[in-house]
Structure 1
Amino acid sequence: MDTINESNDLFGKCPYFTAQKVFSGKWSILIMHNLDEGPMRYGELRRKIGDITEATLTKQLRMLEKYGLIRRHVYSEIPPRVEYSLTDLGEEFRPVLEQFRIWGDKYIKSIKNKNNG
């Protein structure tokens, strides 16, 4: 993993700033959610996420790999096969993903109740 050298003085010191920086990409949470289901190839991940360009997905995957949350495994096959999976640090994000799901479900319910009420 490349050394993380962030220019802002708060990175690595303030947990909220650090988390915001690590997950700043629009698709980061969805990528983590999908990889939580198990290792996936690039194409499979792109299909599951949906409306994401190849360039954006590649950028987001590289960023999450840089921060040590996912790993990229290249199999020495022809044609080459690449798989992405969560690292141990990425797996520690599972409870956060679950809390996002719980909160998201409650929020969706409140919106539906507000629109029907």
Structure 2
Amino acid sequence: MDIVIDRRSVHAGDDTMSHSVDMVVADNATLGDFLAGFDFPGYLPHIMGRGCGTWDLCSAQGGSWRAGAHVVARVDATNTDDVRVKYVTAPETPLANLAAEGGKPYLLFR
């Protein structure tokens, strides 16, 4: 299954390039499976004195942020050796359930 991961910029120079990444995951992957294997320090920017910071991971239905987004997890990456995830949506939720009908899952770190 194809999914899209994106993140907000953290400063003016950080917004010169897109942070959107297309990824392929197993068709039966869950939110928990995905986050357990995600390379947070490799994707999230380093913030001086705060590791990779604290982020909300949101799901946009079909990639449309105007249509609304909801927080599915809160990620504390201030210690990149011990990233902590607090699930708002059950970790057993299939990623496919986070997509709009006929669309692919679109997740944004903000």
What TM-score do the two structures reach when normalised by structure 1?
Answer: 0.25
Write 1 or 2 for the structure with the bigger share of strand: 2
Higher relative contact order (Cα pairs below 8 Å, separated by 6+ residues): 2
TM-score by length of 2: 0.26
Greater Rg by CA: 1
